[in-house]
Structure 1
Amino acid sequence: MELYRLKELIDLANTYMQIGYTTLDAIIRAEKELTNENTSAITNI
């Protein structure tokens, strides 16, 4: 995973956390949104 994609994932997860999601839920939701649920961004790091 390129660094800009990782930063995008972190930024989106932070947005989800600001609206009340737990850290893990925020990361999972951000990953699904960024990858369209086709591949795992986390396992590609």
Structure 2
Amino acid sequence: MGRPSYLALLRATADSLETGRPIRGWRPAVRKGELDWKQAR
């Protein structure tokens, strides 16, 4: 299932980055100053 728009995807991504909650099974993480996405468990 995709997102209804690019704006919705950007909002969901921003929310995930702010809260750490997964988005579509992926969780944001920072490693050595770079953004990475890990599979949520």
More strand by share: 2
The TM-score normalised by the length of structure 2 is 0.42
Structure with greater helix percent = 1
TM-score between both structures, scaled by the size of structure 1? 0.39
Q: Which has the higher contact order (CA 8 A, sep 6+)?
A: 1
